[in-house]
Structure 1
Amino acid sequence: MKVGLFIPCYVDQFYPGAAIACLQLLEKLGVDVVYPKNQTCCGQPMANSGFEHLTGGCNDLFIKNFSEFDYVVGPSGSCVLHLKEHLHNHDNPEIATTLSNKLYEFTSFLTDVLKVKTLPARFPHKVGVHQSCHGQRGLHLSQMTELVAPEFSKPGSLLNMVKDIELVHLSRKDECCGFGGTFCVAEEAVSSKMGKDRVEDHLHNGAEYITGVDMSCLMHMEGILHRQGSKVKVLHIAEILNGE
């Protein structure tokens, strides 16, 4: 299979290590990965701010960059969900629909397409897993605790393959961190308080690292940790799964 690697702009600019880990692990698993160099923002910030009608250029470029691949994989639940729900092309609607169906968040691709059963990674630390809202409630990467239904977690199942890792049990494991994209700008006081509550849950339960599928949420919590003078660090899940 030939996979196009979709790297969101904030990962490219601020957390390139997450992108590199994603690429390296896919290659270790035998995947033929290509990174289209002229890719840019998927248009989610504009759409979230009420300007989805101005994202046509973003959609056209994404379709141009990624239509040729068997699958498109990205290390961001929020950006992937945005594209799966909103990618469109007025002149050729079918090409957008076809591409949306080939688009996967990183951990979903590992579990649902590659069906990974073992990983050579080792990470001897206590780790708290943040369930980002877009990934959990939009892409169904993990079960929602308010439902009377069997529990599952695609990120959790992969982390359990990592040697010597200890996943800490959180008091409110699927609570929102308060980032919410442009929400943290428009409602910074509410966003900050939600983030502090989310961080405190991880700290209270002894986490040395906080991980997840969205660097945007992790970036929000990283800022809070930094301001509190905490030694707890954040890492994208790909960086843990790719470890040796």
Structure 2
Amino acid sequence: MSPPAPPRVALFVTCLVDLMRPRVGFAALRALEAAGCDVVVPEGQTCCGQPALNSGDRAHAIAIARRTIALLEPYAHIVVPSGSCAGTIRCHYPELFEADPDWGPRAAAVAARTFEIMAYLDEVCGWRPEGIALAASAAYHDSCSGLRELGIKAQPRRLLAAVKGLEMKPLQGAETCCGFGGTFCVKYPAISNAIVEEKAKAIEASGADLLLAGDLGCLMNMAGKLNRRGSAIRAFHALEMIAGMGEGPAIGEEA
């Protein structure tokens, strides 16, 4: 009997990864393939609709969600390198269509097959990185949507524990918001700046060499503040560490 075919997984890249940090997308592809997945990057994917949804633009959020649902329906699993985008599809798409007899079941079906990527690698694939080493210390920030909507906390830490030489430092207030909040940082810049200032101080106090997290928006926000403070701490998506891409340019260092 031939072995079962690997699961056909759709990688939903996200806007920020596509436009600001493509390395995270390549890290996702590398990790998923190492875990035995048949990975497809669906052409035509765009934003998940989260900015419109958070801003109260329900009509455009629904239009984007319908397009995204139709695009992702053919795949056994959908993985996303962002807790906030995965949370939008998994938690909020069913809410958008709860009264729609046609789109409601379709939204629910896609939502049930959507996973934040580190939870997918850890819980669904049961995978651990092998042969990956990095002599450094790191502090991990738990992004709000991933933590509170999807329960993402232990999974990335279990994956990072398999990176030889990487020491995880405790971060005071690891579960506290960094102040990004998508459009929140644009609408309330003074409050956002005050929040990320406190977060940066806590990161520096951890004594870590690196800052890791699972959401690029949060990482860009914190990396920007650390840079403006003159800190030597470098920020990476946790996927870059577990995919063996921790030696490259940090967030904000790209040419």
Normalised TM-score (structure 2): 0.88
Amino acid aligned to 2:127: V
How many Å apart are 1:223 and its aligned residue? Answer: 1.0
CA distance, structure 2, for counterparts of residue 119 and residue 200 of structure 1 = 33
Instruction: Look up the SS of the partner of 1:218 in the other structure.
Output: helix
Partner of 1:25: 31
- How many matched pairs? 234
Check whether the contact 2:141–2:175 (CA below 8 A) recurs between aligned residues: yes
CA distance, structure 2, for counterparts of residue 217 and residue 176 of structure 1 = 9
Instruction: Look up the SS of the partner of 2:111 in the other structure.
Output: helix
Instruction: Look up the SS of the partner of 1:164 in the other structure.
Output: strand
Check whether the contact 2:204–2:231 (CA below 8 A) recurs between aligned residues: no
Partner of 2:217: 216
Deviations 1:105-134 (A, max 9, x none): 011101110012453321211111001111
Instruction: Look up the SS of the partner of 2:165 in the other structure.
Output: coil
CA distance, structure 1, for counterparts of residue 35 and residue 161 of structure 2 = 17
CA distance, structure 2, for counterparts of residue 94 and residue 4 of structure 1 = 20
Q: 1:78 aligns with which of 73, 76, 84?
A: 84
Amino acid aligned to 1:30: G
Partner of 2:252: none
Q: 2:12 aligns with which of 6, 13, 17?
A: 6
Matched, 1:131 2:142: yes
**Structure-2 change in CA distance of 1:172 and 1:35 (3 Å):** same
CA distance, structure 2, for counterparts of residue 141 and residue 34 of structure 1 = 24
Q: Which range is displaced more, 225-234 or 72-81? A: 225-234
Partner of 2:164: 163
Amino acid aligned to 1:224: K
Check whether the contact 2:129–2:243 (CA below 8 A) recurs between aligned residues: no
Partner of 2:112: 101
Matched, 1:46 2:52: yes
Stretches of structure 2 lacking an aligned partner (at least 5 in a row)? 1-6, 246-255
Partner of 1:146: none
Instruction: Look up the SS of the partner of 1:46 in the other structure.
Output: helix
Partner of 1:192: 193
Partner of 2:74: 68
How many Å apart are 1:56 and its aligned residue? Answer: 2.4
Check whether the contact 2:129–2:242 (CA below 8 A) recurs between aligned residues: no
Stretches of structure 1 lacking an aligned partner (at least 5 in a row)? 143-152
CA distance, structure 1, for counterparts of residue 20 and residue 151 of structure 2 = 26
How many Å apart are 1:155 and its aligned residue? Answer: 1.0
Instruction: Look up the SS of the partner of 2:9 in the other structure.
Output: strand
How many Å apart are 1:18 and its aligned residue? Answer: 0.6
Instruction: Look up the SS of the partner of 1:200 in the other structure.
Output: helix
Deviations 1:33-61 (A, max 9, x none): 00012100000001101112322221122
Normalised TM-score (structure 1): 0.92
Partner of 2:178: 177
CA distance, structure 1, for counterparts of residue 103 and residue 150 of structure 2 = 25
CA distance, structure 1, for counterparts of residue 41 and residue 162 of structure 2 = 27
Amino acid aligned to 2:115: Y
Partner of 1:149: none
Amino acid aligned to 2:113: K
Residue identity (%): 34
Amino acid aligned to 1:133: C
CA distance, structure 1, for counterparts of residue 65 and residue 172 of structure 2 = 40
CA distance, structure 2, for counterparts of residue 9 and residue 133 of structure 1 = 18
Q: Which range is displaced more, 55-64 or 12-21? A: 55-64
Amino acid aligned to 2:60: L
Q: Which range is displaced more, 162-171 or 112-121? A: 112-121
Partner of 1:56: 62
| Aligned-pair Cα RMSD in Å | 1.3
How many Å apart are 1:172 and its aligned residue? Answer: 2.1
Partner of 2:122: 111
